[in-house]
């Protein structure tokens, strides 16, 4: 490949690293074309899975300001560039790797921070952003309901106390 082609490939990979929320490096040795197609579908709409050259990818990552361990670039490498929810793509990779042991998750990057393969698996165990936001909204709603019932209880308790005082005064006034 000519030098300008390599420069263009590095520039394209650099842009992908800069424009993605996360990137996961995998080894795909032994996977068929049909399996790779299935993998691409399982990653979701917000991820692009590309087979890459190790040297060019390492140069591109460095140019994007990302430092990755040299061991990630051993063997045939493919990168999943994630522009949306990284949890969804991590789950897709984890689930596909369970069914196809030839896919090996090597490591990756999340918001500029290097991740090990174990950290990516932990990321896959998280619930999706939408589920977490729903739980947060539910917690806020529950706290608001608790606060509303406390605020409603205060005036009614005050009214009951005042009524009890009046009754006691009326009782004491009638007894004298």
pLDDT in tens, 37-92: 888 888 878 888 888 888 898 988 888 888 888 888 888 889 999 888 888 888 88
Give the residue-averaged pLDDT of 16-31: 88
Q: Is 78 helix (H, G, I), strand (E, B) or coil?
A: strand
| SS3 state at 175 | helix
Does the global pTM surpass 0.85? Answer: no
At residue 174, the pLDDT reads 61
CA atoms of 7 and 62, how far apart (whole Å): 14
**Is 28 within 8 Å of 78 (Cβ atoms)?**
yes
Q: Nearest Cα to 26, choosing from 125, 124, 87, 94?
A: 94
CA distance 10 to 21: 19
Read out DSSP for 87-115?
Answer: HHHHHHHHHHHHH-TT-EEEEEEETTEEE
* Whether the predicted pLDDT of 2 surpasses 60: no
CA distances, 113 to each of 24, 71, 170 (Å): 12, 16, 74
SS3 of residue 1 by DSSP: coil
Is the pLDDT at 176 greater than 60? The verdict is: no
Alpha-carbon gap, residue 93 to 36, rounded angstroms: 11
Other C-beta atoms closer than 10 Å to the C-beta of 78 total 21
What is the rounded average pLDDT of the residues 150-157? 73
3-state secondary structure of 36: helix
**Considering the chain, what percentage of its residues have pLDDT values greater than 70?**
93
Closest among 77, 81, 78, 48 to 64, alpha carbons compared: 81
The label of the residue with tokens 């061991």 reads 71
């Amino acid at each position: 490949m000519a030098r300008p082609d390599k420069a263009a490939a590095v520039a394209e990979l650099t842009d992908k690293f800069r424009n993605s929320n996360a990137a996961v490096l995998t080894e795909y040795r032994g996977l068929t074309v049909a399996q790779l197609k299935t993998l691409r579908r399982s990653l979701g709409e917000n991820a692009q899975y590309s087979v890459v050259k190790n040297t060019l990818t390492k140069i591109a990552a460095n140019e994007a300001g990302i430092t990755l361990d040299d061991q990630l670039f051993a063997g045939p490498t493919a990168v999943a560039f994630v522009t949306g929810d990284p949890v969804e793509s991590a789950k897709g990779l984890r689930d596909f790797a369970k069914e196809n042991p030839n896919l090996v998750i090597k490591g990756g990057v999340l918001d500029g921070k290097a991740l090990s393969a174990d950290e990516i698996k932990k990321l896959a165990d998280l619930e999706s952003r939408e589920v977490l936001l729903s739980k947060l909204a539910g917690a806020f709603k529950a706290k608001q309901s608790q606060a509303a019932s406390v605020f409603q209880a205060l005036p009614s308790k005050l009214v009951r106390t005042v009524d009890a005082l009046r009754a006691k005064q009326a009782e004491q006034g009638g007894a004298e």
